Amino acid sequence: MDPAQQIAELTQRVAQLEEELMRAQRLSSVGALASSITHEFNNILTTVINYAKMGVRHQDEATRNKSFDRILSAAQRAAKITTGMLAYARNTTNRIEPNDLKRLLEDVLVLVQKDLQMHRIGVDLVAPESVWAMANSSQIQQLLMNLIVNARQAMKENGRLRLIVRDNKAEGWAEIVVSDSGCGIPQEKLPLIFESFYTTKAPDERGQGGTGLGLALCRRIVEAHKGRIRVESEVGKGTTFTLKLPRSESPAGFIDTSAA
């Protein structure tokens, strides 16, 4: 085989492996949420069982209607989580196209909400309007998931997670800021955090620690989008990641009703 052909084949193989790594990391990041999601489902089932019992015991119409209402809304909450999980785990498209960053962030929040709640972390979301970027929806969700899970892991109880979505028209960026009140990162370590396999998370009693791949994949995703990612941190105060993606105009016919 001539060298040029060999190089072409190897390049293709590397691209394939990168794709597989990305998929594996997407699933492993959901693993970090397994306990909170199980917990949430348990709560939902308890609600369903209790209201079903109440409906069976009480024959009057008012109580039955109330029971059905509660069961329905609990089941709808469960459906929202499973739909979100399936959509997240499935890599739907490889296209970079106009996407609303506010919506992508909200979809990720559905999955991480319980985890944040269980660790008593408050969330301030500042996203007054839709902000459109040229983005691959599943990759950007994966990136946001990695940043938010890292932020959560850096915080003790009563931490605060600040999320901002903004349209920087002047500079042509659609931006998301993920800011935590966690342990912070020493200045001399900042250049290392985007390297593959750099982690400070030692394995716990179940042997689960960090792989150090989260931010390395974030960086790749940002590069593929021709975007930027910046980090500022102060030990003991917290860390702020700013993601900038090329902005796009909202698609024709899109009416933003969320700002109203």
Ligand X SMILES: Nc1ncnc2c1ncn2[C@@H]1O[C@H](COP(=O)(O)OP(=O)(O)OP(=O)(O)O)[C@@H](O)[C@H]1O
Residue choice 139, 141, 150, 248 for contact with ligand X (CB under 6 A): 150
Q: Based on CB atoms, which residue is closest to Mg ion, 127 or 161?
A: 161
**Least distance in angstroms from the C-beta of 238 to ligand X:** 7
Cα dihedral sign, 225-34-199-27: negative
**Least distance in angstroms from the C-beta of 33 to ligand X:** 12
C-alpha dist (Å) from residue 205 to 124, 202, 208: 32, 10, 7
Exposure letters 204-225 (e unless 16+ CB within 10 A, then b):
eeeeeebebbbbbbbbbbbeeb
**Least distance in angstroms from the C-beta of 178 to ligand X:** 8
Instruction: Please tell me the distance from the alpha carbon of residue 110 to that of residue 24, in angstroms, as a whole number.
Output: 21
Task: List, in order, residues 6 or more apart from 182 with CB less than 8 Å away.
Answer: 151, 153, 154, 155, 156, 159, 238, 239
**Least distance in angstroms from the C-beta of 212 to ligand X:** 4
Instruction: Please tell me the distance from the alpha carbon of residue 121 to that of residue 256, in angstroms, as a whole number.
Output: 29
**Least distance in angstroms from the C-beta of 1 to Mg ion:** 40
The site map against ligand X for 172-191 (x = CB under 6 A) is --------x-xx-x------
Q: Based on CB atoms, which residue is closest to Mg ion, 131 or 144?
A: 144
| C-beta contacts of 26-30 below 8 A and 24+ residues apart | 26/88, 26/89, 26/91, 26/138, 26/142, 26/145, 27/89, 28/211, 29/142, 29/145, 29/146, 29/149, 29/214, 30/85, 30/88, 30/89, 30/111, 30/145
**Least distance in angstroms from the C-beta of 208 to ligand X:** 9
Instruction: Please tell me the distance from the alpha carbon of residue 94 to that of residue 224, in angstroms, as a whole number.
Output: 11
Q: Which residues bind Mg ion (CB under 5 A)?
A: 150, 214
Is there binding between residue 193 and ligand X (CB under 6 A)?
yes
**Binders in 197-216 for ligand X, by CB under 6 A:** 198-201, 210-216
**Least distance in angstroms from the C-beta of 210 to Mg ion:** 6
Q: Based on CB atoms, which residue is closest to ligand X, 131 or 229?
A: 229
Instruction: Please tell me the distance from the alpha carbon of residue 201 to that of residue 215, in angstroms, as a whole number.
Output: 13
Is there binding between residue 146 and ligand X (CB under 6 A)?
yes
Bridge partners (DSSP) listed for residue 167: 174
**Binders in 236-255 for ligand X, by CB under 6 A:** 239
Q: Based on CB atoms, which residue is closest to ligand X, 174 or 185?
A: 185
Is there binding between residue 84 and ligand X (CB under 6 A)?
no
Q: Which stretch binds ligand X (CB under 6 A): 3-11, 79-87, 146-154, 158-166?
A: 146-154
Instruction: Tell me, by CB under 6 A, how many residues bind ligand X.
Output: 21
Residues interacting with ligand X, by CB under 6 A? Answer: 146, 150-151, 154, 180, 182-183, 185, 193, 198-201, 210-216, 239
